[in-house]
Amino acid sequence: MAVQCVKCGKEGEPITAALFMGRLEAEIKAKVCQPCWKEWEGMRVMVINEYQINLGDESGRDMVKKHMRAFLKIGDAVDASKVQENFKPQ
């Protein structure tokens, strides 16, 4: 069963792996295709590094979630200029 991806606008392969994201997981799996999720996984590392986010801190985890939702187009836009200037798609 394919998913209509809100990020790329195409019908694509659904995410089958467990994301361990609670309520947010169902929304992501319903709206995002596997290739776009893989792209986010690479971007997530850059977001954490560029903004020097401490994932042990709840505010750090919230910041990563905000960037994720914006990147996947399931949330409000965020200022990602710091990451965008260094982002090299695979």
Residue 37 burial (C-beta neighbours within 10 Å; 0-12, 13-18, 19+): buried
Rounded CA separation 21/87 (Å): 24
Per the domain annotation, does 90 fall within a domain?
Answer: no
Across 59-87, average pLDDT: 86
Full-model pTM? 0.87
Number of domains into which the chain is organized: 1
Residue 75, pLDDT > 80, answer: yes
CATH number of residue 56's parent domain:
1.10.3880.10
Give the residue numbers spanning the domain of 58.
3-84
Rounded CA separation 88/17 (Å): 25
**Secondary-structure percent of the chain, ordered helix, strand, coil, rounded to 5:** 50, 5, 45
Task: Give per-residue pLDDT as tens, 1-57.
Answer: 899 999 999 999 999 999 999 899 999 999 999 999 999 999 999 999 999 999 999
